[in-house]
A and B are shown apart, each in its own frame.
Chain A
């Protein structure tokens, strides 16, 4: 079976500075794939380029179609969703309006059902549905951003640092929901600094450093890798040698 998303030899540059160099990655159906790496490694840049926000040199194919020359909106229509790091909510509008707009391209009758699904996934949002998005707490805003993206019925949801700045209990909640998404047939490409949590739920993993992938493989193998453990998981094995 061919991969849902496949990126081949991608380069992304800001002017003359290449932030992402020769990166290839695949996300299969019903998979959680994570990209871990330090701040500034180029993870966000890569996601933005896959979404079409930044220009990308190389090949990106989604569900068998080449994405070159397609706008952000076309990619959304094809089933690619991004929850950006800064969430980009409609802060002066209420929760329900934010969600409704997430389903802008979807038939109205289907959108109603989608909203019920999102409310079951995030009961907190239902409680707050008449509240302005800008007045929500950080965790609720993250839930709303995810909910809005899910309203567009994506086949692949890309999450950029969903745990950033959130309390551990909410992070656990969000990671639990990500695994539920996989169970319901949505693939996830997860970018995280919190490598430990991300590797725990992911199937495949890539480790990114200074714009390049330095390691890739099954998430459990990556988690067991000594160098990754030393650099990203916050503990050092006895006598670990750097790879």
Chain B
């Protein structure tokens, strides 16, 4: 192997690793705040990517309808929970966010899908649609289970993953799709060639990480989210609703997932079930970070990306196996370093 190939592989690995880093961070965030291991993260990736690609190709994505259906479900849940003490303001607010908003977005999607909208509108619509799906999904599938054990939440998470994957097949078919690049063009520096798309990936990843850092460090809602992650009872005693924190966490996770999808789909053809494997690699990084450490997760994600790039060069048949094998030494070390911990009860 010469240095050019090596540089090329490292570059490729960093591009993928950046996306895994975002996904891993979202997984850590959701787990810390809600104790949900977010298996459907991969579906957010697929939905974001394929909604974007469909819109760009002038097709109507089914995800917009799913958002409305889930929104109606979320509204029904809100009504049911508040049935003993219904009051107008509460109902109106729930109706606006859960039914009116997705209905407007659906109308906009139908309008724009017919006329091959510009890239910016495709991106905006895809992000909003997947963000709403994430938000309503939390209301429908996870909020009613919020007090149960991590295992129950995990099983719900697997169920949601399977359901969303099946719906993905229904919406987008078995054919893969590719989307238009966000930034076209490229330039070369030495032996390396940088495409507009890979620069977009670096730029968006860095901007998002800085944005998250500012959000968690400076804003009240960001701090409230951290507080819920650090001490759930303490947060509730300060008046921070666990459900509010959960909603923000799911909103962030679904936006991150969709954004990752939109960044990947111009580079690789994505199928309705491709997101799962991509999400799993973010999961590997999150596990290496112990599901608690953000910096460790980001570094691990870059490492996962680079290992993947090299193994696809040397033994492309085994590239997934090699990446997932990374977990074994990490888990072994962790189990030796830390004594068995009883599951937190609350």
A binds B: yes
Which residues of B237-251 have CB atoms within 8 Å of chain A's CB atoms?
A: 237-241
Measured CB to CB, the closest approach of chain B to A99, in angstroms, equals 10
Please determine whether B231 and A73 come into contact, CB atoms closer than 8 angstroms: no
Asked whether any CB of chain B lies closer than 8 Å to the CB of A240, the reply is no
Measured CB to CB, the closest approach of chain A to B246, in angstroms, equals 13
* Bound: A81/B236 CA distance, A: 11
Asked whether any CB of chain B lies closer than 8 Å to the CB of A102, the reply is yes
For B, the interface residue count at a CB cutoff of 8 angstroms equals 18
Asked whether any CB of chain A lies closer than 8 Å to the CB of B234, the reply is yes
Asked whether any CB of chain B lies closer than 8 Å to the CB of A101, the reply is yes
Q: Which A residues are within 8 Å of any B CB, using their own CB?
A: 51, 53, 69, 71-73, 76-77, 81-82, 84, 87-93, 97, 100-102, 104-105, 108, 148-149, 151-152
Please determine whether A105 and B239 come into contact, CB atoms closer than 8 angstroms: yes
Please determine whether A149 and B237 come into contact, CB atoms closer than 8 angstroms: yes
What are 6 of the A-B contact pairs (CB < 8 Å)? A81-B237, A88-B234, A89-B231, A93-B223, A101-B224, A101-B227
B235: which A residues are within 8 A, CB to CB? 90, 101
Please determine whether B234 and A104 come into contact, CB atoms closer than 8 angstroms: no
The answer to whether residues A90 and B226 also contact, given A73-B236, A104-B238 and a CB cut-off of 8 A, is yes
The B interface, classified by DSSP as helix, strand, loop or mixed, is: helix
* Bound: A97/B234 CA distance, A: 13
Q: Which of B223, B230, B233 contacts A100 (CB 8 A)?
A: B223
Q: Which of A82, A84, A104 contacts B240 (CB 8 A)?
A: A104
B227: which A residues are within 8 A, CB to CB? 90, 93, 97, 101
Q: What residue in chain B is nearest A133 (Cβ atoms)?
A: B230
Please determine whether A100 and B220 come into contact, CB atoms closer than 8 angstroms: yes
* Bound: A152/B240 CA distance, A: 11
The answer to whether residues A102 and B231 also contact, given A93-B226, A97-B223 and a CB cut-off of 8 A, is no
Q: What residue in chain B is nearest A152 (Cβ atoms)?
A: B239
B238: which A residues are within 8 A, CB to CB? 76, 101-102, 104, 148, 151-152
* Bound: A81/B234 CA distance, A: 11
Asked whether any CB of chain A lies closer than 8 Å to the CB of B345, the reply is no
Please determine whether B84 and A91 come into contact, CB atoms closer than 8 angstroms: no
Which residues of B73-99 have CB atoms within 8 Å of chain A's CB atoms?
A: 84-85
Please determine whether B240 and A73 come into contact, CB atoms closer than 8 angstroms: yes
B84: which A residues are within 8 A, CB to CB? 69
Please determine whether A104 and B237 come into contact, CB atoms closer than 8 angstroms: no
* Bound: A148/B220 CA distance, A: 15
Interface centre among B220, B223, B231, B239 (most CB of A within 10 A): B239
Measured CB to CB, the closest approach of chain B to A197, in angstroms, equals 24
* Bound: A53/B234 CA distance, A: 11
Please determine whether B236 and A72 come into contact, CB atoms closer than 8 angstroms: yes
Measured CB to CB, the closest approach of chain A to B233, in angstroms, equals 5
Measured CB to CB, the closest approach of chain A to B227, in angstroms, equals 5
Interface centre among A71, A73, A89, A100 (most CB of B within 10 A): A73
Please determine whether B231 and A90 come into contact, CB atoms closer than 8 angstroms: yes
Q: What residue in chain A is nearest B85 (Cβ atoms)?
A: A69
A97: which B residues are within 8 A, CB to CB? 223, 227
Measured CB to CB, the closest approach of chain A to B35, in angstroms, equals 17
* Bound: A128/B226 CA distance, A: 20
* Bound: A104/B237 CA distance, A: 10
Please determine whether B231 and A88 come into contact, CB atoms closer than 8 angstroms: yes
Q: What residue in chain B is nearest A81 (Cβ atoms)?
A: B237
Given contacts A73-B240, A93-B227, 5 further A-B contacts (CB under 8 A): A53-B233, A76-B236, A100-B223, A104-B240, A152-B238
The answer to whether residues A104 and B230 also contact, given A69-B84, A93-B223, A97-B223 and a CB cut-off of 8 A, is no
Measured CB to CB, the closest approach of chain B to A221, in angstroms, equals 33
* Bound: A232/B73 CA distance, A: 57
Please determine whether A73 and B241 come into contact, CB atoms closer than 8 angstroms: yes
